[in-house]
Amino acid sequence: MQFVPLRLGKVEIGMPAVQAALSGYSDLAMRTVAREHGAPYALNEVVLDELVLQKGKLQRRILSVPEHDHPVGGQLMGSEPHTFGRAAREMVDAGYDVVDINFGCPVNKVLGRHRGGWLLQAPDIALAMVDAVLQAVAGDVPVTVKMRRGSDDSPAAEARFWTILEGAIARGITAATVHPRTVAQKYVGPSRWPFLAKVKAHVGAFPILGSGDLFSAFDVLAMLRETKVDGVTIARGCIGNPFVFGQVRALLADRPALRPTMAMVRAALQRHWQLAVPFYGDARRALPHARMHAIKYGQYHRDPLWARERLVTMRGPQTWDPLVDEVFADRFDDGRARELTAADAIVPALQSCSE
């Protein structure tokens, strides 16, 4: 399949499939493993503007951008334009290559605090936040936005979507990611890809990235082909599955995508653990974060539900190596990477994280 390399302003991305910002997941360990398996660009998990500005250990972790973690996007969420702009400037000064504004999170706690997807009901506030970020970054990095197709299915909600998108483009954002579910839908029901096609046709050459129901490399190619978006952000489909980026590269080059062997899965998990421990300070603190990923890696096992049942028993850092070695032992395959098919690309029962 022919594709145009993705570019966000002055930031060269290349392959039009990137790792989304995943709350609770896309930390440095996940981003690094994804890059090592072919992800050209990754976003840090969404962070509150007030946490970026509040001095302490968490602020230092958020603002730590090592040399190998580029290009990287920092996604911000908040409700006050003046603190939003200050937080964006802090992220730019820390080394983030892109600042992404979250107008899409549908979690009730977020909505109740007038953040994320709630702002799709308030175009004036949303655009004031865009103004604040653009003024704060002063053209030093691209600014992008993440949106859903509206707060609900009403014509008024869709009208507000267009007001915010067109207003943000007019003000100078570089690209927009659109998830074609409403905020009210959360993660229930289908993601309306035809809406993505409508958005792309409406904005012309302006870069649009699509999101929603991308559980395999085959889904990625289908979205690019059917909607004509410029790129996609893979969210739930890359948790426990950094291999998806190499699979997308293969399919775009008209080569077969390959399933990872058990040895490849073990190696990816051990690399994740190796990165997570220093990032969180010690093995005890790292374990809850790494364990979530390990459970998701079970999707490539020939008995994925058994794999999950074993991995959820992981308690204490001393159980990491034995369980990873047991579940992903060489005896479960013959060591050959076989061609991936659309039928066995993913196990939806193991996917439960939001995107």
Q: What is the pLDDT of residues 32-79, one digit of tens each?
A: 999 999 999 999 999 999 999 999 999 999 999 999 999 999 999 999
In order of 79, 96, 147, 282, 347, the CA distances from 90 in angstroms are 17, 9, 23, 27, 39
**6-252 adopts what CATH topology?**
TIM Barrel (3.20.20)
Confidence class for position 350, pLDDT limits 50, 70, 90: very low
The predicted structure's pLDDT at residue 189: 82
Instruction: Let me know: does 11 contact 71? Beta carbons within 8 Å.
Output: yes
3-state secondary structure of 299: helix
The amino acid that residue 326 corresponds to is E
Provide the percentage of residues in the chain whose pLDDT is more than 70: 97
Radius of gyration of the chain from its Cα atoms, rounded to whole angstroms: 20
Model pTM score: 0.93
Domain boundaries, the chain: 6-252, 262-332
